[in-house]
Structure 1
Amino acid sequence: MFEFRFSDLGLRQGAAEGRTQTSLSEINVTPFVDVVLVLLIIFMLTAPILESGIEVDLPKTRTVRVLSEEKVVVTIDKRQDIYVGNDPVNIHRLGSFVLDHMRGSEQAPVFIRCDQSVPFGAFAQVMDALKQANLRNVNVVTEPLNTKGAAGG
């Protein structure tokens, strides 16, 4: 006959060997930390990409300044659609919409991101709409011109 004992399964009562039975009360946090670090890396890599969801091919210039302040960004894409942040806006409502985003502060900077394939007339209409709304601190966003390897540069 087959005899079944607890000792065969490693479930021995500890009193026979002089040990007491304790439960595992510590949690292994290593897998948790691994997952959190992976998520952190993913967010760090995707955050710059998500800054503006509207794809624009910016013109390149030599004078580029990195901005770190809170800003209102007006974007004109290839199809000449106008956005404030990620919200589409009609040209006739552009000035009031930007003022609403700025909470009435006409001195705060407004930045225009315009695709380089957009005709100057469309860009001028956006500038005019902003000036009609009394917005005077309007800036144009460009990308740095790559001068490495250029002749005389």
Structure 2
Amino acid sequence: MGMGAATSGGGGGRRRRGRKKAVMSEINITPMVDVMLVLLIIFMVAAPMMTAGVPIDLPQTAANEMPSQTQPVTVAVTPEGVIYVDENAVAEAELINTLTGMNTSPEDRIFLRGDTTADYGSVMRVMGILSAAGYTKIGLITEREPG
């Protein structure tokens, strides 16, 4: 009796129309890696532009002195915060006017000497004034350690 009964659907298994695949519970890592790589490239390109500060040309202590045709201008800061341009005391507001009066251009090298007991802020303020005026070749003068 039961053998002769026909099943609907024409096949051995049951199929439902419109049924989708089972939900995948695994995380797809590829899109996340793609996003991270794009962010890495963006930060690598943008990071050099975000640096703030004064570009400084620091002298090498082991190198020999190079001969030059002109004597570079020396700006010194004393422990009291007094600014000297080639042994002449200058007010902070008059520093750039004094340098332009000496026929210096922004391409000329300027040596900055700061006393070891001078306020760090005073030396950095002078360096900022020089940099804002367009002087890009600023060298910090140091002395070699004895021995």
* 3-state secondary structure, aligned to 1:127: helix
Counterpart amino acid of residue 112 in structure 1: L
Structure 1 residues 93 and 134: CA distance shift in structure 2, 3 A: same
Structure 1: gaps of 5 or more residues: 1-60, 149-153
Match of residue 132 from structure 1: 132
Q: For residues 76 and 88 of structure 2, what CA distance do their matches in structure 1 show?
A: 10
Q: Deviations over 1:19-60 (max 9, x none)?
A: xxxxxxxxxxxxxxxxxxxxxxxxxxxxxxxxxxxxxxxxxx
The residue number in structure 1 matching 2:88 is 87
The TM-score with structure 2 as length reference comes to: 0.52
Amino acid at match of 2:98: F
Tell me the CA shift for residue 62 of structure 1.
7.6
2:140 partner amino acid: V
Question: Which has the higher Rg, Structure 1 or Structure 2?
Answer: 2
Cα RMSD between the aligned structures? 2.1
Q: Does structure 1 conserve the Cα–Cα contact (< 8 Å) formed by 2:79 and 2:119?
A: no
- Residue in 1 aligned with 2:61? 63
2:109–2:138 Cα contact (<8 Å) kept: yes
CA contact (8 A) 1:99 1:106 kept: no
Aligned residues: 86
TM-score, normalising length: structure 1: 0.50
Report sequence identity in percent.
22
Structure 2: give runs of 5+ residues left out of the alignment.
1-58
